[in-house]
Amino acid sequence: MSSGTAPGSGTAPGSGVARGSGTAPGPGVAWGSGTVPSYGPRFPDGPLPRVAILGCGQIAQTAHLPAYAAHDVDVVGVWSRRRETTETVPERFPGVRKVHASVEELLADPEVDIVDIATPAEGRLEHVAAALAAGKHVLAQKPLTLDVEGLRPLLAQARRRGLRVAVNQNGRWAPQWRLATRLIEDGAIGDVVGVTHLHDKPLPPLAGTPFDDVPHMLVTDYLLHWVDITRCWLRGKQVATVRADDARVPGQPAAARNPWSASVEVRCTDGAGALLRIVGDVRTRHPSCPFWVHGTDGTLRGSILGRDHLELERGETTTRYALEGAWFVDGFAGVMGELMCAVVEDREPSNSAADNVASLELTLAARDSAQRGGAVVPLPIQL
């Protein structure tokens, strides 16, 4: 994925990956400060905590491991339910030193500081509990769980033991979304009024996959990255209601059991709101996922997963940022780097499991609304 610069617009160079410093390598044109906020993955200085991957399947081998290799993360070992899944991993990723024979063996390894749990959702909380019992910090795949009450005792256990549990909300570190977040935090568009997302691209294969067996899958799983980043941009506001619906679309094959269109709407008590829309399995030569964040003082416009770009309109000035990196794999480096910084700095990661609860509650409210045919669901929570 690449991003271009519009003719005649202001141009700001992207922020590269600066291990330790967290700052952009060069200044650019941006509102107010004259520099672009850093948005790349950040790792702590000095020796990094050591990692083992529990559930080293396709996503771990195509995203986690390449991201970690790019940032010199020491991956002590890996495990998968099927030995053949991981037998070529050490050859393709020479930094991986061990293929563990069992979950128990991996968790007992004294060299492991962080367990990256990339198993399917079923049984994930049990793996988190076992990792905490073994004294390990945890990075867990999203959705962490749809059982929020079952999560709370694990959060309490982690606090008692001084362990950190983070969630792999890697979309937060997609360059466009990450820089948008930094600009919003810096006040570039004032108070956020509205967030809009459109999924203008084909859906991934769903029919005949395990995702087809997940009720309201687009709402409860696929859109979770979009729900989570929207919550980041509305942070500090009070939710009033959530409404969602999903439906089959013309041309959807009978073998595809889940609906292929979905929308989620969030309304806040101050009138701000958000709308997320998947129209179906879009037919287009120019796939993208455009988004807009409107504020009292300006507007951010961008796109991810195709036609990648971000621009800030404020007053008479429009700044289009020449971004570096891409969601895959920088997002996966970003979540691990933030967890490692939190471990070294003895603080909670910004992508902590406790912080993720609000995203889960939004998702569950959306699921309940979809199950009720789009009924409005009250949800008095703070974002």
**What pLDDT is recorded for position 32?**
54
Region for 53 from its dihedrals, namely left if φ exceeds 0, alpha if ψ lies in -120 to 50, beta otherwise: beta
Q: Which two tokens stand for residue 194?
A: 């509205």
Residues with Cβ within 8 Å of 248's Cβ and at least 6 positions away in sequence, in order, are 259, 260, 261
**pLDDT tens digit sequence for 314-347:** 999 999 998 999 999 999 999 999 999 999 999 9
Q: Say what percent of the chain tops pLDDT 70.
A: 91
Q: Is the pLDDT of residue 21 over 50?
A: no
Beta bridge partners of residue 78, listed in sequence order = 53, 99
Q: Say what percent of the chain tops pLDDT 90.
A: 87
Domain covering 51-170 in this structure, CATH number: 3.40.50.720
Beta bridge partners of residue 295, listed in sequence order = 192
**What pLDDT is recorded for position 339?**
98
pTM of the model: 0.91
**What pLDDT is recorded for position 31?**
58
State the Cα torsion 267-281-224-308 to the nearest 10°. -90
**What pLDDT is recorded for position 229?**
98
**What pLDDT is recorded for position 161?**
96
d(CA 327, CA 41): 11
Residues with Cβ within 8 Å of 151's Cβ and at least 6 positions away in sequence, in order, are 125, 144, 145, 353, 357, 360
Are the beta carbons of 77 and 98 closer than 8 angstroms? yes
Q: Which two tokens stand for residue 212?
A: 């087809």
Look up residue 64 and give its DSSP letter: I
Where are any strands of DSSP class E within 46-90?
51-54, 75-79
Q: Where are the domains of the chain?
A: 10-24+172-326+351-378, 51-170
Residue 173, φ and ψ in degrees, nearest 5: -105, 10
Confirm or reject CATH 3.30.360.10 for domain 10-24+172-326+351-378, answering yes or no: yes
Residues with Cβ within 8 Å of 335's Cβ and at least 6 positions away in sequence, in order, are 139, 166, 167, 168, 169, 170, 172, 173, 351
Mean pLDDT, all residues of the chain: 91
Where are any strands of DSSP class E within the chain?
10-13, 51-54, 75-79, 98-99, 114-117, 137-140, 165-167, 192-199, 239-247, 261-268, 273-278, 289-295, 299-304, 309-314, 317-322, 377-378
Are the beta carbons of 252 and 234 closer than 8 angstroms? no
Lowest mean pLDDT of 21-35, 97-111, 301-315, name the range: 21-35
- pLDDT (mean) for 173-202: 98
